[in-house]
Amino acid sequence: MSRHAIWDLPTRVFHWLVVALIPMLWWTAKQEEMELHMILGQVMLGLILFRIFWGLIGSSTARFSGFVRGPGAIRAYLRGEGKPAIGHNPLGALSVLAMLLVLATQVGLGLFAFHDDLALQGPLAHLVSEETSETLTDRHETMFNVILGFIGLHLAAILFYLVVRRKNLVGPMVSGKGAAPAGAEALNPAPAWRFLLAAGAAAGLTLWISSGL
């Protein structure tokens, strides 16, 4: 094992912003600070869109094509026969995709939500009936429990790797560097223009959606 760059700065910033936003979104909802809640939700939308774009054109360990694999690769990894690599392993890739999916679902539901007491509604609530909006609002509240479940599984996996496999997953997400197995392909960072393209596209799409389309 040797120490190499594993995660680029945009991936790390995305990760920790999401970590910070989730409790902030929960707190603003509980305190009925719905205007701030909606603003934070739009920030989360922008982050998710950015991660999707970055997963297409970003650095090698951030691209979906770099870590999303089929069942065969997952079985090989579980048997310890996988190809040496840095970043997400084939099993961890499922966790990444699942978390992005539940977060995107939660934000999507929030776009159509309606808060009757405060006369506030999501930017896309006008596209559906009031009854549908109320149903989606209920789903939005329930979906947070699903997110908590995924967070619990994520933390359990981090603890498992730290205690059982003696592998620190948090450190590299802070510093960007960590232990890499011999023979693993090095991080291939994306040029700055790709970051600007992904960030600009995410910001533009977020503003368009937030304006009610």
Q: What is the CATH number of the domain that holds 19?
A: 1.20.950
- Residue 138 structural domain: 2-210
Interval 100-110: pLDDT, tens: 999 999 999 99
Dist CA 191 CA 212 (whole Å): 33
Q: Which two tokens stand for residue 206?
A: 């977020």
Model pLDDT, residue 125: 94
Interval 25-74: pLDDT, tens: 999 999 989 999 999 999 999 999 999 999 999 999 999 998 898 888 88
* pTM for this predicted structure: 0.93
Model pLDDT, residue 112: 95
Dist CA 114 CA 173 (whole Å): 36
Out of 25-34, 167-176, 181-190, least confident range: 181-190
CA–CA distance from 128 to each of 70, 109, 124, 206 (Å)?
38, 12, 8, 19
115 φψ region: left (φ > 0), alpha (ψ -120 to 50), beta (else): beta
Q: In this structure, are residues 25 and 55 in contact, taking their beta carbons and an 8 Å threshold? A: no
Q: State how many domains the chain has.
A: 1
Instruction: Calculate ∠ Cα 72-83-158, nearest 5°.
Output: 85
| Mean pLDDT (whole number) for 147-172 | 92
Model pLDDT, residue 115: 77
Looking at per-residue confidence, does 152 or 90 come out higher? 152
The share of the chain scoring above pLDDT 70, in percent, equals 97
